Amino acid sequence: MERRDFLKVSLASFIALMASSEEIFAKVTDSTNSGAKGVIFVVGDGWPLGVMKAMNEFMEMKFKEKSNLSTLIKNPKTRILLQNTSSLSSVVTDSAPASVAWATGSKTVNRSLSVLPDGRNLKTIFELAKEKGLSCGFVTTTRVTHATPAAWYSHNSNRDDEDSIAIDLLNADLEVAMGGGDRFFNRDKRKDKKDLYGMFSSKGYRVVKSKEELISSISDERPILGVFSSSHISYFVDRVNDEKLNKKEPSLPEMTAVALQKLSRNKKGFVLQIEAGRIDHACHANDAYAAMMDCYELDKTIGVVVDFINKNPDVLLIVTSDHGNSGYGINGTGPEYNDATEALMNYKNRASFEYMIKTMKNQDLKAVKEIFENYTQQKIASEEAEEIYKKLNEKRMVVINDIWYEPEYTMGRILAKSIYEYENEKLIKPAKKRRGNVGFTSTNHTAEDQLVIVYGEKFYEGELKNLIDNTELYNLMCNYLAFNYLNPKMDRQDAIAYVKAISYMEWERHLRLHIS
Helix (H) or strand (E) holding 159: none
Which residues contact residue 454 at a Cβ distance below 8 angstroms, ignoring those fewer than 6 apart? 78, 79, 80, 81, 316, 317, 318, 319, 461, 464, 476
Question: Is the pLDDT confidence value at 18 over 60?
Answer: no
Q: Sort 390 into a burial class: Cβ within 10 Å, 0-12 / 13-18 / 19+.
A: middle
Which residues contact residue 30 at a Cβ distance below 8 angstroms, ignoring those fewer than 6 apart? none
pLDDT in tens, 337-358: 989 999 999 999 999 999 999 9
Distance of CA 93 to the CA centre of its chain: 16
**Does the annotation list 232 as a binding residue?**
no
Cis peptide before 407 (omega within 30 of 0): yes
Q: How confident is the model at residue 334 (pLDDT cuts 50, 70, 90)?
A: confident
Model pLDDT, residue 418: 86
270 three-state secondary structure:
strand
Kindly report which listed range (25-34, 202-211, 405-414, 438-447) carries the lowest average pLDDT score.
25-34
Which one has a higher pLDDT value, 460 or 91? 91
Query: Domain residues of the chain, as ranges?
Result: 35-327+444-515, 329-439
Percentage of the chain lying above the pLDDT 90 cut: 78
pLDDT in tens, 420-454: 877 777 777 777 778 999 999 999 999 999 999 99
User: Are 190 and 148 a contacting pair, CB within 8 Å?
Assistant: no
Which residues contact residue 184 at a Cβ distance below 8 angstroms, ignoring those fewer than 6 apart? 143, 145, 162, 163, 165, 166, 190, 196
Model pLDDT, residue 34: 67
Model pLDDT, residue 252: 96
Question: Is the pLDDT confidence value at 5 over 70?
Answer: no
**Does the annotation list 146 as a binding residue?**
yes
Q: How confident is the model at residue 26 (pLDDT cuts 50, 70, 90)?
A: low
Instruction: Evaluate the CA torsion angle 426, 430, 433, 439 in order and state its sign.
Output: positive
Q: First vs last Cα of the chain: how many Å apart?
A: 25
Torsion of CA 127, 129, 135, 137, to 10 degrees: -50
Max distance between CA atoms of the chain, in angstroms, equals 78
Residues with catalytic roles: 95
CA distance 385 to 395: 18
User: Are 135 and 315 a contacting pair, CB within 8 Å?
Assistant: no
Question: Is the pLDDT confidence value at 8 over 50?
Answer: no
User: Which of 344, 353, 325 shows the shortest CA–CA distance to 446?
Assistant: 325
Assign 3-state DSSP to the chain and report helix, strand, coil percentages, each to 5.
45, 15, 40
**Does the annotation list 155 as a binding residue?**
no
Average pLDDT score over residue span 299-304: 95
**Does the annotation list 195 as a binding residue?**
no
CA distance 53 to 189: 40
CA distance 253 to 305: 9
Question: Is the pLDDT confidence value at 7 over 60?
Answer: no
Model pLDDT, residue 128: 98
Question: Is the pLDDT confidence value at 134 over 60?
Answer: yes
Average pLDDT score over residue span 367-372: 98
**Does the annotation list 510 as a binding residue?**
no
Percentage of the chain lying above the pLDDT 70 cut: 92
Question: Is the pLDDT confidence value at 264 over 80?
Answer: yes
Helix (H) or strand (E) holding 340: helix 340-345
Kindly report which listed range (37-51, 75-89, 243-257, 488-502) carries the lowest average pLDDT score.
488-502
Which residues contact residue 447 at a Cβ distance below 8 angstroms, ignoring those fewer than 6 apart? 85, 86, 91, 92, 93, 323, 324
Q: CATH top-level class for 35-327+444-515? A: alpha beta
pLDDT in tens, 386-401: 999 999 999 887 666 6
CA distance 111 to 194: 25
CA distance 177 to 214: 12
**Does the annotation list 281 as a binding residue?**
no
Model pLDDT, residue 13: 34
Write down how long the chain is: 516
DSSP 29-84: GGG------EEEEEEETT--HHHHHHHHHHHHHTS----HHHHHHHSTT-EEEEEE
Q: Sort 307 into a burial class: Cβ within 10 Å, 0-12 / 13-18 / 19+.
A: middle
Which residues contact residue 131 at a Cβ distance below 8 angstroms, ignoring those fewer than 6 apart? none
User: Which of 213, 253, 256, 249 shows the shortest CA–CA distance to 231?
Assistant: 249
CA distance 418 to 331: 11
User: Are 292 and 279 a contacting pair, CB within 8 Å?
Assistant: no
297 three-state secondary structure:
helix
Model pLDDT, residue 24: 66
**Does the annotation list 323 as a binding residue?**
yes
Model pLDDT, residue 6: 38
447 three-state secondary structure:
coil
User: Are 296 and 236 a contacting pair, CB within 8 Å?
Assistant: yes
Model pLDDT, residue 515: 81
